[in-house]
């Protein structure tokens, strides 16, 4: 196999990995958003239908986290996805009452996802004109 063929194969595999991981990350974030919203806006209840919906969302969250665990190439992404999911479960249990407590684990997850999809590339900040 020539160097050009090898490089082309690496580029294709990298693009396939990014696409698979992007889908898993978007699914996870969508469910995480629903869990956060439901956990932090629900009234205190005892066994209502809302609890059943929240239980289903938590199950879906862990399944989405497992998809990331399978798709991720890096341990930092696996760990940060778990920590973010665990923080959301703490919010469901009432152990976290303020959404600002979730921002740290969320940001760490997003940074790790970026690093896994584009290893070795610096992430541009919002106010930077630097190319990615």
- List the one residue out of 76, 81, 80 whose CA is nearest residue 66: 81
Does 57 have pLDDT greater than 90? Answer: yes
Does 46 have pLDDT greater than 60? Answer: no
The residues near 105 (Cβ < 8 Å, ≥ 6 apart) are: 80, 83, 84, 86, 87
The confidence band for 48, taking pLDDT boundaries of 50, 70 and 90, is low
68 and 79 Cβ atoms separated by less than 8 Å: no
Higher pLDDT, 132 or 63: 63
Higher pLDDT, 43 or 40: 40
Higher pLDDT, 56 or 6: 56
- All domains of the chain, ordered by start, with CATH? 16-117 (1.20.120)
Does 47 have pLDDT greater than 60? Answer: no
Model pTM score: 0.84
Vertex 53 angle, CA 52 and 57, to 5°:
115
**pLDDT value of position 6:** 87
Mean per-residue pLDDT, 53-81: 97
**pLDDT value of position 95:** 93
Please tell me the distance from the alpha carbon of residue 15 to that of residue 103, in angstroms, as a whole number: 29
66 and 94 Cβ atoms separated by less than 8 Å: no
């Amino acid at each position: 196999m020539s160097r050009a063929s090898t490089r082309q194969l690496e580029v294709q595999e990298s693009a396939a990995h990014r696409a698979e991981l992007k889908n898993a990350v978007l699914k996870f974030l969508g469910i995480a958003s629903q869990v956060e919203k439901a956990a932090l806006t629900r009234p205190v209840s005892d066994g209502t239908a809302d609890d059943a919906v929240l239980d289903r969302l938590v199950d879906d969250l862990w399944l989405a986290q497992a998809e990331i665990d399978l798709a991720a190439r890096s341990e930092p992404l696996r760990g940060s996805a778990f920590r973010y999911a665990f923080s959301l479960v703490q919010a469901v249990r009432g152990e976290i009452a303020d959404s600002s407590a979730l921002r740290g684990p969320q940001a760490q997850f997003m940074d790790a996802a970026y690093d896994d999809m584009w290893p070795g590339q610096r992430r541009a900040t919002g106010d930077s004109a630097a190319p990615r």
